[in-house]
C-alpha cells in the first residue's frame, strides 16, 4: 500500500487536466490525480491520507482508491472510452444487487447482510437470500422504482450487458439513487471475475477478508492449472443452438480459457479474439465427428433430451459413439438461475476442478461423480 498526502491548494484544475491527458499510458498515476481532483470537488478533503490499492492482477475494468470513510471506484469501459468514477461513503450498509454474481461476491466475504434487495429473486441460488427478508425490485422495464426509494439503499450495483449503461441507470441517478455500473461479466480471465470480491470488500469495509478469499482462489486455481497433463488435449464440442444460431466462444473468451486451463480445446474457437462466432448446424455436426466430448448442451438434462432436441443430434459424434457429455446444470434452480454463473464467478477454482476431471474423463480416464457444478449425462 502507498500512502499519499495532498492539500487542496496544491493542485489546480488546469494542472490536473493537463497531467491526466499527458499521462494516459500511466494509469496508476492518472488515477491518483483524478481521485484527488474529485475529492477536492466533493469538499471532502482538506488534508487526508489516501490509500491507493495495488493494481488488479487480472481484472481490467476497475480500480479502487480509498481512505477510511471514502472510496472511489474507477470503472474502465471495454470500449476504451473515458473511465467513470463513483464516490461512495464506506462502509456501505445497504446494497441492491442487480446481478447474482455480485450476491455471491458479498456472500464470499461474509457480507450478505448488506444486501437489501436483488433483481429477480427466483434466479438467485444462495438459500440465505432466497429464503430471507431480501426484496425483489424487478428488472429492466419492470423495475420497481418506488420500492427502491423506500428501501433507501446506500448503493445499487448493476452491470452493462453490451458495455453500454442499462436505460434505467439514468432514471435511478435522477432519483438520487447512487448507482455503480460494472463490467465484470465482460472480463475474460476467470480470475479477473473472481477479483471483484476486492471491490466489494472495499465497499463494505471487509478488504482483509476479500484479499484472503481472492488470494486463496487465485493460488488454488493456478496450482491446479500447473498440474494438468497437457501432452494431449481433449477436443470439446460446446453449446447447443440458441434459436437459429450456434455460438462458439473465441479462444480468448471466458469459457475457452477455462477449458484450455483444464487441458481441453474447444473445436472451432477463433484465435485472437474473445468474441463468439456463429456456426451452422452442419458445421457443428462436422465438429462433433472429431470431438472427444460434448460440453454444456443447453437445457438438456439427459441424453434422451439431447436426441429429441433436433433430429440430427442422434448422429452427432458424442451421442452416436457414447462419448462423455457434461452439462453445467448440477446447481440450476427451479426459477431458472444457476449457481455456475453465481458462485462460480467468485470460485473459478471450483469450475476448473470440475473441468479438469471432465477433460481427464474425455481423454480416457475415469468418470468423476463428485463435481461441483456439472453432471455427466
Is the pLDDT at 324 greater than 80, yes or no? yes
Find out whether the peptide bond into 97 is cis, omega within 30 degrees of 0. Answer: no
- 144 and 247 in one domain? no
What integer best gives the mean pLDDT of the chain? 88
- Asked whether residue 209 is domain-assigned, the answer is yes
**What is the pLDDT at residue 53?**
52
Give tens-digit pLDDT for 239-277: 999 988 999 999 999 999 999 999 999 999 999 999 999
Decide if 101 is inside a domain: yes
Give every CB contact of residue 375 below 8 A, 6+ residues apart in sequence.
Answer: 301, 326, 327, 329, 330
Q: Indicate if 1 and 97 belong to the same structural domain.
A: no
Give the pLDDT of residue 9: 32
Q: What is the mean pLDDT of residues 335-361?
A: 97
| Residue 36 clears pLDDT 60, i.e. is over it | no
Q: Is residue 57 part of a domain?
A: no
Same domain assignment for residues 31 and 149: no
The answer on 159 and 99 residing in a single domain is yes
For 38, residues 6+ apart whose C-beta sits below 8 A from its C-beta are 72, 85, 87
Task: Say how far apart CA 133 and CA 121 lie, in whole Å.
Answer: 11
- The CATH number of whichever domain residue 352 belongs to comes to 3.40.50.1980
Task: For residues 177 and 79, state if they share a domain.
Answer: yes
CB count, 10 Å around CB of 163? 14
* 333 and 367 both lie in a single domain: yes
Is 66 domain-assigned? Answer: no
Task: Read off the pLDDT of residues 270-308 as tens digits, 9 standing for 90 and up.
Answer: 999 999 999 999 999 999 999 999 999 999 999 999 999
Please say whether the dihedral angle defined by the alpha carbons of residues 163, 167, 169 and 170, taken in this order, is positive or negative: positive
Q: Where are the beta strands (DSSP E) in 192-351?
A: 234-238, 246-248, 264-266, 277-279, 293-295, 325-327
Q: Which residues contact 89 (CB under 8 A, 6 or more apart)?
A: 69, 70, 71, 154
Q: Do 113 and 150 share a domain, yes or no? A: yes
**Residue 162's pLDDT is what?**
77
Looking at the predicted structure, is the pLDDT value of residue 1 above 50? no
Dist. CA 104–CA 110, nearest whole Å: 10
Q: Are residues 328 and 364 in the same domain?
A: yes
Round to whole Å and give the CA distance between 317 and 294: 9
Single pTM value for the model: 0.87
pLDDT score of 44: 44
Q: How confident is the model at residue 25 (pLDDT cuts 50, 70, 90)?
A: very low
Confidence label for 30 from pLDDT (cuts 50, 70 and 90): low
Q: Is the pLDDT of residue 223 over 60?
A: yes
Q: Rounded CA gap, 265 and 177, in Å?
A: 45
Q: Is residue 60 domain-resident?
A: no
| Spatial separation of the C-alpha atoms in residues 166 and 89, rounded to whole Å | 24
pLDDT at residue number 141: 83
Question: Last residue of a domain, which of 197, 219, 241?
Answer: 219
Establish if 64 belongs to a structural domain. no
- Please check whether residues 214 and 240 belong to one and the same domain: no
Would you say residue 331 has pLDDT above 70? yes
Residue 41 or 217, more confident: 217
Domain count, the chain: 3
Q: What is the pLDDT of residues 39-97, one digit of tens each?
A: 454 444 434 444 545 479 999 999 999 766 889 999 999 988 899 999 999 999 999 99
User: Looking at the domain assignment, is residue 63 inside a domain?
Assistant: no
Q: Which of 219, 237, 267 is the last residue of a domain?
A: 219
pLDDT band at 8 (very low <50, low <70, confident <90, very high): very low
- On whether residue 171 sits in a domain, the answer given is yes
Query: Please, are residues 204 and 106 in contact by the beta-carbon 8 Å criterion?
Result: yes
For residue 198, name the pLDDT band (cuts at 50, 70, 90). very high
Per-residue confidence at 151, pLDDT binned at 50, 70, 90? very high
Contact in structure between 280 and 288 (CB atoms under 8 Å)? no
Q: Please tell me the predicted confidence (pLDDT) of residue 52.
A: 44
pLDDT band at 6 (very low <50, low <70, confident <90, very high): very low
Are 212 and 309 contained in the same domain?
A: no
Instruction: Please report the pLDDT score of residue 68 as a whole number.
Output: 67
Q: Same domain for 236 and 368? A: yes
Domain membership of residue 249 as a residue range: 229-376
Choose one of 196, 219, 242: the last residue of a domain: 219
Q: What is the DSSP track for 6-68?
A: EEGGG--HHHHHHHHHHTTT-HHHHHHHHHHHHHHHHT--SEEEEEEPPPPSS--SEEEEE-S
Q: Convert the pLDDT of each residue in 102-119 to its tens digit.
A: 999 999 999 999 999 999
Cross-strand pairs, 95:
115, 155
Band the pLDDT of 146: cuts 50, 70, 90: very high
**Same domain for 250 and 201:** no
Amino acid at each position: 500500500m502507498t500512502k499519499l498526502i495532498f492539500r487542496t491548494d496544491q493542485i489546480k484544475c488546469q494542472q490536473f487536466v493537463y497531467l491526466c491527458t499527458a499521462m494516459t499510458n500511466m494509469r496508476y498515476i492518472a488515477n491518483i490525480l483524478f481521485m484527488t481532483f474529485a475529492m477536492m470537488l466533493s469538499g471532502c478533503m482538506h488534508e487526508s491520507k489516501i490509500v491507493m490499492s495495488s493494481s488488479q492482477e487480472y481484472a481490467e475494468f476497475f480500480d479502487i482508491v480509498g481512505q477510511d470513510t471514502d472510496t472511489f471506484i474507477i470503472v474502465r469501459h471495454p470500449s476504451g472510452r473515458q473511465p467513470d468514477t463513483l464516490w461512495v461513503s464506506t462502509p456501505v450498509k445497504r446494497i441492491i444487487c442487480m446481478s447474482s454474481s455480485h450476491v455471491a461476491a458479498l456472500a464470499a466475504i461474509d457480507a450478505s447482510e448488506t444486501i437489501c434487495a436483488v433483481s429477480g429473486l427466483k434466479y438467485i441460488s444462495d438459500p440465505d437470500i432466497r429464503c430471507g427478508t431480501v426484496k425483489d425490485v424487478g428488472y429492466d422495464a419492470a423495475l420497481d422504482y418506488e420500492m427502491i426509494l423506500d428501501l433507501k439503499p446506500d448503493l445499487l450495483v448493476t452491470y452493462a450487458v453490451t458495455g453500454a449503461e442499462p436505460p434505467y441507470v439514468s432514471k435511478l441517478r435522477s432519483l438520487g439513487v447512487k448507482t455503480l455500473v460494472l463490467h465484470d461479466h465482460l472480463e475474460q480471465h476467470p480470475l479477473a471475475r473472481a477479483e471483484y470480491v476486492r471491490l466489494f470488500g472495499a465497499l463494505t469495509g471487509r478488504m482483509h477478508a476479500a484479499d484472503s478469499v481472492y488470494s486463496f482462489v487465485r493460488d488454488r486455481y493456478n496450482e491446479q492449472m500447473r498440474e494438468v497433463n497437457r501432452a494431449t488435449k481433449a477436443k470439446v464440442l460446446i453449446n447447443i443452438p440458441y434459436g437459429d444460431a450456434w455460438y462458439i466462444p473465441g479462444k480468448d473468451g471466458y469459457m475457452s480459457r477455462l477449458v484450455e486451463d483444464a487441458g481441453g480445446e474447444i473445436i472451432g474457437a477463433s484465435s485472437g479474439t474473445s468474441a463468439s462466432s456463429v456456426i451452422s448446424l452442419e458445421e457443428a455436426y462436422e465438429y462433433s465427428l472429431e470431438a472427444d466430448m460434448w460440453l454444456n448442451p443447453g437445457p438438456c438434462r439427459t441424453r434422451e433430451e439431447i436426441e429429441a432436441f433436433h433430429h440430427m443430434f442422434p448422429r452427432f459424434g458424442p451421442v452416436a459413439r457414447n462419448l462423455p457429455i457434461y452439462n453445467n446444470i448440477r446447481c440450476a434452480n427451479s426459477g431458472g438461475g444457476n449457481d455456475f454463473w453465481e458462485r462460480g464467478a467468485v470460485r473459478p477454482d471450483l469450475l476448473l476442478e470440475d473441468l479438469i476431471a471432465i477433460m481427464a474423463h474425455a481423454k480416457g480416464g475415469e468418470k468423476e461423480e463428485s463435481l461441483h457444478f456439472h453432471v455427466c449425462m
